[in-house]
Amino acid sequence: MAEKWNLEHLRLFVRVADLNSFSAVAREQRKAQSAVSSAIAMLETDLGVTLFERSSGRQPRLTERGAALLEDARELLRQCERLDGRALALMRGQEPLLRVAQDEAMPYQPVIDSLEELASHLPFLQVQLASGAQGDVARKLVERQADLGLFFHHERIPASLERRALGSVEMVTVCAVDHPLAREGRVNRQQLARHRQLLITPQQSDYPGGEAISPQIWRADSFYAMAELLMRGLGWAWLPRHVVQYPTYQAQMVELDTEWRPPALVVELAWRRDQPLGPAAQWLAERFAVHLRAIG
C-alpha cells in the first residue's frame, strides 16, 4: 500500500507552484532535487491527480487539476499553523508582555483609552507600544518584534499574517487655508487636477485614496508628513478626519466640498497566524474596537 501524503508533501507542492521550479525549492529547503521531485510524485500518486506538467528543460507548470487543488493545499497549511499557534497559546496561558505596533496615523484617543483600561484590567502586564509609517507594522509582526498590530487596510500584506476589521475612519479632501482651492466653492476633479496632489502611498500600494488625479504628484509614507506639507500650501490631499482635527492643524486647513472622495480607511487588527492572540491581546483588541466605533 502506498504511503499516504503528509503535510511536508503539501508544503513542497505549494512552494513548487509558487517558484515554478523543483531545483529552486530544493535549494530553498536544502534538499536534493530528486527528493523534492519524489515527494511531489508521491503526492500525485496518493491523490490520483497529476499536479504538474513536466517537460525536459522546462519549468514545471501546474495542470488544470493541480491549480484546482492549490488553494485547498494552502488553506490546509494555514489551518495547521492556526492549530499549532492556538496550542502554543493554551500552553503559555496569560502573556506576561504585550507588544503592540500601530500605524502612526491611527486615531490617538481610542488607542490611549484602550491602553488605560488595559492597565486597570491587567495591572501587572508589561506593554510595549511602537508606532511607525506604512509597512512598519506588518514588518514588526513578521519579524516577531510585535504581537499585535493596528494598521489601515490594504490588499498586500504578508501571507503569514491574519487580520480582521475593527472599524473605519472617514477620509476628507483638504488644502491649506491660503491655497487657491480654498477660495473655490464646490470643487470638481478638473479643478483638483490643476494643483499638486499629495498622496500617502507608494504607487504599488492599495490604500484607499491612492488614486492620482493630478499630473503633479508628491508622495509620503505618513499622513502627518503630508499634513505638514499641506499646511505650507504645497498641495491638496485626502486625509483621515482625525488627522485634520489634530489641534496643530485645525486652523491651518480647509475641508473642500468635492464631488468624490475616497472610501473610509478600514482599521484592521493583525497578528501572526502561527502565534494567535493571547488573552490580554484579545481583550485589548475588543476595547479598541469599542472606542473606535465611538468616534465614528
pLDDT at res. 178: 93
Tell me how crowded residue 134 is: count the other CB atoms within 10 A of its CB.
21
Each residue's pLDDT tens digit, 114-130? 999 999 988 878 899 99
Q: How far apart are CA 139 and CA 160, in angstroms?
A: 11
205 lies in which domain range?
171-263
Same domain, 44 and 186: no
Same domain, 219 and 258: yes
Q: Does 101 have pLDDT greater than 60?
A: yes
In-domain check, residue 150: yes
Tell me how crowded residue 169 is: count the other CB atoms within 10 A of its CB.
20
pLDDT at res. 15: 92
Same domain, 135 and 255: no
In-domain check, residue 1: no
Read off the pLDDT of each residue in 90-98 and give the average, rounded to a whole number: 73
Same domain, 257 and 183: yes
pLDDT at res. 56: 65
Each residue's pLDDT tens digit, 57-73? 678 889 999 999 999 99
Same domain, 41 and 124: no
Same domain, 145 and 68: no
Each residue's pLDDT tens digit, 80-90? 887 876 676 56
Read off the pLDDT of each residue in 103-124 and give the average, rounded to a whole number: 88
Choosing from 44, 73, 90, the residue where a domain stops is 90
CB environment 265-285: b (16+ within 10 A), e (fewer): bbbbbbbbbbbbbbebbebbb
pLDDT at res. 209: 61
Placement of cell 509597512 in the chain: 135
Each residue's pLDDT tens digit, 184-215? 888 999 999 999 999 987 655 555 566 888 99
Query: What is the total count of domains within the chain?
Result: 3
Read off the pLDDT of each residue in 47-62 and give the average, rounded to a whole number: 84
> What cell was used for 44?
500525485
Same domain, 74 and 216: no
Q: Does 236 have pLDDT greater than 90?
A: yes
Same domain, 176 and 239: yes
pLDDT at res. 152: 86
Q: Does 1 have pLDDT greater than 50?
A: no
Same domain, 283 and 137: yes
Read off the pLDDT of each residue in 272-276 and give the average, rounded to a whole number: 84
Supply the CATH number for residue 114's domain: 3.40.190.10
In-domain check, residue 2: no
Same domain, 142 and 277: yes
pLDDT at res. 262: 81
Annotate 71-119 with DSSP letters as a single string.
HHHHHHHHHHHHHHHHHHHHHH-S-SEEEEEEETTS-HHHHHHHHHHHH
In-domain check, residue 208: yes
pLDDT at res. 207: 58
Same domain, 143 and 251: no
Choosing from 75, 90, 105, the residue where a domain stops is 90
What average pLDDT does the chain have? 86
Read off the pLDDT of each residue in 241-257 and give the average, rounded to a whole number: 89
Supply the CATH number for residue 50's domain: 1.10.10.10
